[in-house]
Amino acid sequence: MPVGSIITEITLAVAASIAAAALAGVYLTSMGQASDLQRIQVMQLREELSYGCKIIYAHGRMGDTEVRAWVKNTGLRDIPQDLVKRSEVILASRDRIHYLLHGTASPSWIYILRNDADMDERWDPGETLEITLRLGEPLPRDDYILKLSLFNGAGCSTQLST
Amino acid sequence: MQHPALHIKEVLADMSGLGGIVVFALIATLSLTAIGYLAGVMRTGTSLAAEINIMIQEEAVKSVGRLEIANLTILPDNTTIRAEIINKALKSIPLRNLNLMDIILVYESQGAIRAAWIPYRRDGEGLEGWHVTDITQGEVGEIINPSSRNFTTGMWDPGETLHIEIRLNPSHPATGTTLLIASTPEGAMGWRAR
């Protein structure tokens, strides 16, 4: 066999091997990235599931300017005060929506920790917040949905009629 | 001068080994690609299955069951209320965690509707509060995880009845319809009105 042909075959073989390795590498990298992306999504979902709440009862009457609700931490993690204050409260009826942020001025919402068993001032699992919605105007007779949205988007809701 | 057909024949003869190499390279490429794809699929599937398994376990922990309030009595003084709450939740509640329970009363008081979260008072003292008076298994005393005399140790187990007494602020007596809402630390709930 001529030397020229041998060199050509070796060159082609090396090129084919490099191309195969590069292709396989691209595939492996892509699959790894896809896997990581899915893992991140699942982790985010798990993070949301780790935080949960349940509104035990919400109380407001026609003409009241305040609504009170008792909310239990049914998640698996405690929530520090700073993050509790980043929660948002929505009180919605067919005609009106009150969107409230934590604060002192009206309209806003405030809270007290009713049973801080370990006195750490964090909202631990099993502990209950009493939240007060200060609407700044009297509630008309209607059906309402009260929703508390935690800092990470997890939340809980209940219905009440005035 | 050589015939052109003979020249092509010689060239093809010289390249007889090239076909094998190309086929080998193609098979190698396909094999590596398939292995890479399978490895990726397995890795993704395994990690997802592990994460989903953890999520299912965590959700199972959050399944809580419910409470049943079997009896609700308002004594003639209108400031003392007795209730019997049956644990139909899925697990026992340590008595040291009773302060994490929610006892909420919504009731008519002198013409107005009042909603109050009643604090747990183990010793039964204070202006307003609730405390445990007994834990029974049906009509008899509890058998498993018995409580201490002052209800600081022991368990309120599934099927057992927690007898509680609620003392209202004398300035806000219960004078009409009364709703009791109870919740365990995990959020298992029950309510009863009278």
- Among all residues of chain B, which has the CA nearest to that of A61? B113
For the record, the structure tokens of B84 come out as: 């019997």
Which of B45, B62, B79 is the last residue in one of the domains?
B62
Contact across the interface for B51 and A24, Cβ inside 8 Å: no
Signed CA dihedral, B14, B20, B22, B23: sign only: positive
CB–CB of A101/A88 below 8 Å? yes
Contact across the interface for A76 and B186, Cβ inside 8 Å: no
Same domain, B23 and B83: no
* pLDDT recorded at residue B14: 57
| DSSP characters over A50-116 | H--EEEEEEE--TT-SEEEEEEEE-SSS-B-HHHHTT-EEEEE-SS-EEEEEBSSSSSEEEEEETT-
Same domain, B40 and B89: no
CB–CB of B158/B75 below 8 Å? no
Contact across the interface for B55 and A45, Cβ inside 8 Å: yes
How buried is residue A139: exposed, middle or buried, by Cβ count under 10 Å (0-12/13-18/19+)? buried
Q: Name the residue among A2, A28, A117 with its Cβ closest to that of B39.
A: A28
Same domain, B43 and B30: yes
Q: Which residues of B touch A29 (CB under 8 A)?
A: none
Interface probe, candidates B23, B32, B42, B107, chain A, greatest A C-beta count within 10 A: B32
Cα–Cα dist A99/A90, whole Å: 5
3-class state of residue B103 by DSSP: strand
Give pLDDT < 70 ranges for chain A.
1
Q: Name the residue among B32, B43, B106 with its Cβ closest to that of A24.
A: B32
- Among all residues of chain B, which has the CA nearest to that of A58? B115
Same domain, B72 and B23: no
Interface probe, candidates A35, A37, A162, chain B, greatest B C-beta count within 10 A: A35
Same domain, B58 and B71: no
Cα–Cα dist A150/A1, whole Å: 77
Number of helices (H), then strands (E), belonging to chain B: the values are 2, 11
**B108 alpha carbon, distance to own chain's centre:** 34
Q: Residue B83 pLDDT > 70, yes or no?
A: yes
Which residues, in sequence order, are CB contacts of B53 under 8 Å at separation 6+? none
- Among all residues of chain A, which has the CA nearest to that of B29? A20
- Among all residues of chain A, which has the CA nearest to that of B11? A5
Which of B38, B62, B86 is the last residue in one of the domains?
B62
Domain extent, residue B53, equals 4-62
For the record, the structure tokens of A2 come out as: 């001529």
* pLDDT recorded at residue B90: 84
Work out the average pLDDT over B91-101: 92
Which of B62, B80, B99 is the last residue in one of the domains?
B62
Q: What is the CATH number of the domain that holds B95?
A: 2.60.40
What is the number of domains present in chain B?
2
In this structure, how many other beta carbons lie within 10 angstroms of the beta carbon of residue A104?
Answer: 7
- Above 0.85 for ipTM, yes or no? no
User: How wide is the angle at C-alpha B73 spanned by C-alphas B67 and B76, nearest 5°?
Assistant: 160
Highest mean pLDDT out of B44-53, B60-69, B100-109: B100-109
Cα–Cα dist B180/B106, whole Å: 7
Same domain, B115 and B58: no
| Per-residue model confidence as pLDDT tens digits over B3-57 | 655 566 665 555 556 677 777 778 877 887 788 778 777 877 777 777 777 777 6
Whole-number percent of chain A with pLDDT over 90: 59
| Per-residue model confidence as pLDDT tens digits over A91-132 | 999 989 999 999 988 899 999 999 887 889 999 999 999 999
Bridge partners of A147, per DSSP, are A90, A157
- E strands present in B32-177: 65-74, 80-89, 93-94, 102-109, 112-118, 129-137, 140-141, 155-156, 161-167
Cα–Cα dist B98/B121, whole Å: 10
CB–CB of B135/B161 below 8 Å? yes
**A146 alpha carbon, distance to own chain's centre:** 17
Same domain, B48 and B74: no
User: Within an 8 Å CB–CB cutoff, is residue A141 touching chain B?
Assistant: no
**B149 alpha carbon, distance to own chain's centre:** 31
User: Which H helix or E strand runs over A144?
Assistant: strand A143-149
Residue type, B73: T
* pLDDT recorded at residue B135: 95
Same domain, B115 and B71: yes
* pLDDT recorded at residue A151: 92
Same domain, B92 and B139: yes
Contact across the interface for B99 and A38, Cβ inside 8 Å: no
CB–CB of A131/B115 below 8 Å? no
